[in-house]
Structure formats: C-alpha cells, structure tokens
C-alpha cells in the first residue's frame, strides 16, 4: 500500500466521482480506477459502489476512509515539521465565509490577522452555508465560517456532511428591515405572523437565515412570499422591493437607509467555524483557526 494510493482513494471519496477526482489529481481516469482496484485487491474488500451519478463508499470504505485521512494527515505533518512550518507558519489557506460576514465582521479580522501573521495569505470564498459545507467536504476549503443549527426549533435543519465538526463562535440577533416610509416603519417591534402579506427579499437558497425565516413563518401557518433573492438584501429593501430578515450588525452597517425593527419573539443565528475531523490542518490553518476563535468570540463580548 502506497501513500499515493491513499491520496487517490481519499480524493475519489471526497468527490464521489472518478472523473472529477482524476481531473483534480491530474491523472487519467483509467489509471486512477486501476490504482483503486489494486488497493481493493490488496485489502480484499470493495471500497466503492457505483451509483447513477458516480460512486459512494461502501461500509468498509467508510471505515478505511477515516484511517486514510489520518495517515495522510500524519505524513503531511511530518513533512511540515522538517520544513520548519510549525515554528514559522507561512503559506496560503482558503476559507469559506458567509456573504453577510464578508460585509461585516471579516474585513477587520483579516486586517488584524495580516498584521500579526504577514507570512500567511488568506483567500476567501463567499457563499451560503450548504454550498460552503459541501466545498469543505470535497477539500476545496481549509475552513468554513457558516451558520450553525444549534437550536433546531428555530431552523430548518442544514445538513452537515458526515465527518465535519464545528465550534460555535458567536450569536447574531436577527431583525426585520423595511424601507423608509414603509407602513411598519414606526412600529417598535413586529411578530413574524404579522408579515403574512409582505413580500420578502431573501438570501439565496442554502442560506441558514433563509431556512430560519422559512421555519418561523411555517410555525405561524404560512410560507413567506420571496420576491427577490440576492447576497445583499438591504439594497433592494431600501428601494421598497420587499422586507427582509438580516443580522443586526449587517442591518446597522453603513449602506442604503432602512428602518430596523426587533422581532417578537426574538430570532437569532449562531455562526461557527467548521473543519473536517481527521483531515490534516496545516500550521497556517491552525494559526488562523485559533485567531478566529479568539477574535470573534472576544469581539462579540464587547
């Protein structure tokens, strides 16, 4: 058994597809299939089963995957220790983040991190929660900052791919935002059930806040009418195209003028940092993970 074979196996398992794995590994698909076949023959078990669109792990494959990830992680850790990365972290990391975070908390965090660790370059990929978690599973991201389903009574469950773990960072209050001059503008507080006839501007599908809004409306006996979806609902709300539910920090940040109303009962969302359990985290990634935990948790207490 070779490390190369483990690398091939893990990549196919992440992507559930031989062709896509071959493209990422820069190896012809027949050669990749042959290597996996050799590995299965050596182990005496089938690691994958064919599906309509690709492959999935067998029960034996699931068990082997855990060990393969750990073995590759240890091998990479040994390489990095020899290169001196442990004491002097440097390199590039790719981090997934919620679009709302990119517009609020993330810029100041990246500035502070860059001053303390100039040798580490952080590349941000923004999206909603579900696509970010899927990208993390496939190995496209080192870490992900995304919505967490901590209180399932407030949220339609966001499915977390198997093997992904998370650490809660902070909690955001969610508020209703309306255009200046809207009939609800002068209200001190608003309940979800009073929004039955309103049109909503929402984050796109896969967003935890959108799922939370949907769950809250369904509990009140209706489905929200989503007229528009975009990464920056506030801009459309300011133009009178609908109302929206946003994190308070996002609603209060500089931008088009809107009115903010607290919700009764209150809604909130948790943001967590996600990582793949057992997968190797480079020294640079570990440094960023530790920094994010300290920075966002302390910032939220201020």
Q: Cα–Cα distance between 184 and 195 in angstroms, integer?
A: 10
The verdict on 26 and 57 lying in the same domain is yes
Q: Are residues 145 and 276 in the same domain?
A: yes
The CA distance from 11 to 175, in Å, is: 42
Nearby residues of 124 by Cβ (< 8 Å), 6 or more positions away: 95, 96, 97, 102, 106, 110
Selection from 181, 241, 228 nearest residue 202 by Cα: 228
Q: Are residues 78 and 95 in the same domain?
A: no
Closest CA to 21 of 37, 8, 31: 8
Structural domain total, the chain: 3
pLDDT at 205: 85
As a whole-number percent, the residues of the chain with pLDDT over 90 amount to: 42
If asked whether residues 114 and 198 sit together in one domain, one would say: no
Show Cβ contacts of residue 186 under 8 Å, excluding neighbours closer than 6 positions. none
Q: Quick one: three-class SS letters along 124-164?
A: EEEECHHHHHHHHHCCCCCEEEEEECCCHHHCCCCCCCCCE
Residues belonging to the chain: 302
Q: CA 75 to CA 151: how far, in whole Å?
A: 38
For the residues 221-248, what does the mean pLDDT come to? 93
The DSSP line for 171-215 is EEEEEEEEETT-TTTT-S-B-GGGGTT-EEEEPPTT-HHHHHHHH
Give pLDDT, residue 289. Answer: 93
pLDDT at 154 over 70: no
Q: What is the pLDDT of residues 238-274, one digit of tens each?
A: 999 999 999 998 999 888 999 999 999 899 888 999 9
Q: Name the residue range of residue 34's domain.
A: 3-83
**CATH number, position 279:** 3.40.190.10
In this prediction, residue 16 carries a pLDDT of 87
Intra-chain end-to-end CA distance of the chain, in Å: 53
∠201-204-206 over CA atoms, to 5°?
135
**65 and 34 inside one domain:** yes
Are both 95 and 158 inside the same structural domain? yes
Q: In this structure, are 224 and 276 located in the same domain?
A: no
113: tokens are: 């991190």
* SS3 call for 46: coil
Burial class (CB in 10 A: 0-12, 13-18, 19+), 80: middle
- pLDDT at site 301: 57
Same-domain check for residues 166 and 293:
yes
| pLDDT reported for residue 82 | 65
CA-based torsion, 4, 5, 8, 9: positive or negative: negative
CATH value at residue 74: 1.10.10.10
| Final residue belonging to a domain, choices 83, 117, 145 | 83
Give the residue carrying structure tokens 């860059």: 114
Among the residue ranges 168-182, 214-228, 270-284, the one predicted with the least confidence is: 270-284
Residue 73 CA neighbour count, 13 Å, CB half: 14
Which pLDDT band, with edges at 50, 70 and 90, does 106 fall under?
Answer: very high
Q: Do 41 and 181 fall within a single domain?
A: no
């Amino acid at each position: 058994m070779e490390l190369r074979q483990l690398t091939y196996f893990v990549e196919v398992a992440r992507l559930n597809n031989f062709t896509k794995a071959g493209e990422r590994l820069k190896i012809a698909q027949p050669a990749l299939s042959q290597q996996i076949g050799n590995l299965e023959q050596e182990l005496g078990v089938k690691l994958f089963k064919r599906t309509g669109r690709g492959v999935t792990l067998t029960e034996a494959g699931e068990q082997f995957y855990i060990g393969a990830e750990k073995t590759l992680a240890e091998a990479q850790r040994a390489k990095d220790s020899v290169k001196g990365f442990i004491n002097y972290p440097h390199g590039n990391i790719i981090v997934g983040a919620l679009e709302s975070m990119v517009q609020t908390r993330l810029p100041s965090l990246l500035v502070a991190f860059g001053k303390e660790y100039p040798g580490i370059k952080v590349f941000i990929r923004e999206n909603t929660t579900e696509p970010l978690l899927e990208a993390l599973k496939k190995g496209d991201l080192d870490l992900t900052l995304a919505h967490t389903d901590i209180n399932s009574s407030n949220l339609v469950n966001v499915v977390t791919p198997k093997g992904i773990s998370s650490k809660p960072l902070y909690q955001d209050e969610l508020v209703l935002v309306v255009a200046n001059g809207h009939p609800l503008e002068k209200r001190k507080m608003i309940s979800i059930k009073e929004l039955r006839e309103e049109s909503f501007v929402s984050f796109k599908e896969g967003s935890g806040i959108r799922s939370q809004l949907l769950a809250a409306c369904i509990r009140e006996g209706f489905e929200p009418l989503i007229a528009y979806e975009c990464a920056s609902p506030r801009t459309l709300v300011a133009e009178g195209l609908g109302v929206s539910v946003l994190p308070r920090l996002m609603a209060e940040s500089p931008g088009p003028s809107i009115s903010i109303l607290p919700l009764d009962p209150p809604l909130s969302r948790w943001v967590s940092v996600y990582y793949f359990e057992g997968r190797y985290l480079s020294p640079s990634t570990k440094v960023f993970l530790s920094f994010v935990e300290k920075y966002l948790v302390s910032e939220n207490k201020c």
